[in-house]
Amino acid sequence: MFALGMLLAVLVCPMHLLGQNGENLTGSVEGTGGAVLAGVKVTLVREETQAKQEIATAKDGSFAFTDLALGNYLLAIEATDFEPYSSILQVGTGGLSPLVIKLKLRTVAQNLTVKAYSNDERLSPESNTNSMDMNETALEGLPLETDYLQPFVETFLSPAAEGNEGASIVVDGVEGGALDMPTAAIRRLKIDRNPYSVKFQHPGAARAEITTEHGHYDRYEGSIAFYARNSIFDARNALADSNPNLNRRFVEASLGGSLPGREGSFFFAGQRLMDDESAVVSSLDTVALTGTLNINVPNPRRNDHLFLRTHWSLTDTQWLSLNYVFTDKSTRNKSVGGLTLPEQGFSEGRQTQRAQLEYSQALSPQLFNDLIFLFKKEDARTGDPATGPEILVNGAFTGGPSQIFEGTHRRGFD
């Protein structure tokens, strides 16, 4: 029995010792110039069993695998911006020396096509060097209220080319339009493109061409912005006994996306300006007839602008679009301030609506047909019929009811 026990001890103990004393694999990972790489993924796969171990390098770039069985292993290392590394290692009874692995920077390949301009392209009137092209990305950084959009555009036009008729605004191919849509509705603005085109009445230096947004066919996209200003942040007004009230709010929003049916899309944009400010009246006191009358008179203003466009691709060569623009402006106590008394103030309002239906068809690569119907309605009113005479005392005050009264109603179809 004693001999049998000794035999079992001899057979079992070497196996136990072998399992407890496996080989170790250690090393470090470096980048270009010898800089250590921390947090790099290191993978070790045993070929016989496909058993896999994964670790990350330490802060000093080192890694270690312990208690490895004898056999062949695949060592793989992956690091961002470096080429992958892999190597076959044999773990034997002799042990392994620490590894120092240097990774190579990943090669970045980029295709660049250089195309020479043909004579036709260089001489094309669409490519004249004086032209200016602003896309929606550039316009997004301009939180312009619509009333200030046209003066902004006119800064890039030539007064000499405008003549007596002023700047020419072309909206979606129709000349004689107006900049009455929100800024968010403009997809592209081009100035001085094809300066002597026979298609338009005015030369390019006096012409601004606007292409409006039409939404996306495959997704919805929108935005909203709010701007505010208040008189609590203003310095004292030297001409007023108390600081004039000012409370200005400006809201702009847009939404675009797909419509049911064959490749239909829509785009909606709106702006609203609420400007509650005051005019300062500083004149002779008309009651006491001595001293100075100094008061703040509310002078509120409201501007609303709405834009809606729907677009359908009927076929691969036919398109249909419908645009609608609505504008409503109103002001109270206009012209009041300075020597002009509050009783001289009058209201002003203007409302316009414009609808445009456009059918386009590509007959050939060189022939394009456009059929456009345009309807416009405008109602404006300034002041009211005078109920008495105006009183004007030079250098003292202007009083009495305002003598300004005008009303217009226009309808147009093209």
Contact 323, 185 (CB under 8 A): no
Gap between the Cα atoms of 343 and 17, Å rounded? 109
Answer whether residue 111 is part of any domain: no
Which of 38, 70, 102 represents a domain boundary (last residue)? Answer: 102
Question: Which pLDDT band holds residue 262 (cuts at 50, 70, 90)?
Answer: low
Within this chain, do residues 249 and 306 fall inside the same structural domain, yes or no?
yes
Gap between the Cα atoms of 357 and 360, Å rounded? 10
Within this chain, do residues 250 and 375 fall inside the same structural domain, yes or no?
yes
Answer whether residue 50 is part of any domain: yes
Gap between the Cα atoms of 292 and 153, Å rounded? 43
User: Is beta strand 207-212 parallel, antiparallel or unpaired with respect to 168-171?
Assistant: parallel
- pLDDT score, position 303: 92
- pLDDT score, position 152: 78
Within this chain, do residues 384 and 268 fall inside the same structural domain, yes or no?
yes
Question: Which pLDDT band holds residue 67 (cuts at 50, 70, 90)?
Answer: confident
Which of 191, 212, 233 represents a domain boundary (last residue)? Answer: 212
Domain region containing 341:
221-413
Answer whether residue 118 is part of any domain: no
Phi, psi (deg, nearest 5) at residue 34: 85, 10
Within this chain, do residues 225 and 302 fall inside the same structural domain, yes or no?
yes
- pLDDT score, position 44: 93
Within this chain, do residues 73 and 150 fall inside the same structural domain, yes or no?
no
Within this chain, do residues 246 and 203 fall inside the same structural domain, yes or no?
no
Q: Give yes or no for residue 409 having a pLDDT over 70.
A: yes
Gap between the Cα atoms of 343 and 25, Å rounded? 96
pLDDT digits (tens, 9 = 90+) for 172-183: 877 766 777 888
Amino acid at position 151, single letter = P
Within this chain, do residues 188 and 259 fall inside the same structural domain, yes or no?
no
Contact 273, 250 (CB under 8 A): yes
Answer whether residue 108 is part of any domain: no
Q: Give yes or no for residue 8 having a pLDDT over 50.
A: no
Using DSSP, state whether 162 is helix, strand or coil. helix
Within this chain, do residues 28 and 131 fall inside the same structural domain, yes or no?
no
Answer whether residue 3 is part of any domain: no
Mean pLDDT over residues 235-247, rounded?
A: 79
- pLDDT score, position 4: 44
Gap between the Cα atoms of 92 and 246, Å rounded? 86
Query: Which percentage of the chain shows pLDDT scores above 70?
Result: 83
Contact 173, 372 (CB under 8 A): yes
Which of 194, 212, 230 represents a domain boundary (last residue)? Answer: 212
Within this chain, do residues 281 and 192 fall inside the same structural domain, yes or no?
no
Answer whether residue 365 is part of any domain: yes
Answer whether residue 330 is part of any domain: yes
- pLDDT score, position 326: 94
Within this chain, do residues 201 and 239 fall inside the same structural domain, yes or no?
no
Least confident segment among 81-95, 265-279, 373-387: 81-95
Q: Give yes or no for residue 367 having a pLDDT over 80.
A: yes
Structure tokens at 71: 């056999």
Gap between the Cα atoms of 412 and 176, Å rounded? 12
Answer whether residue 5 is part of any domain: no
Within this chain, do residues 282 and 197 fall inside the same structural domain, yes or no?
no
% helix, strand, coil for the chain, step of 5: 15, 50, 35
Residues in the chain: 414
Gap between the Cα atoms of 232 and 229, Å rounded? 9
Q: How many domains does the chain have?
A: 3
Q: Which residues pair with 382 in a beta bridge?
A: 348, 406
User: Is the pTM higher than 0.75?
Assistant: no
CATH number at residue 32: 2.60.40.10
Within this chain, do residues 193 and 225 fall inside the same structural domain, yes or no?
no
Gap between the Cα atoms of 326 and 272, Å rounded? 12
Which positions ≥6 away from 123 have C-beta within 8 Å?
A: none
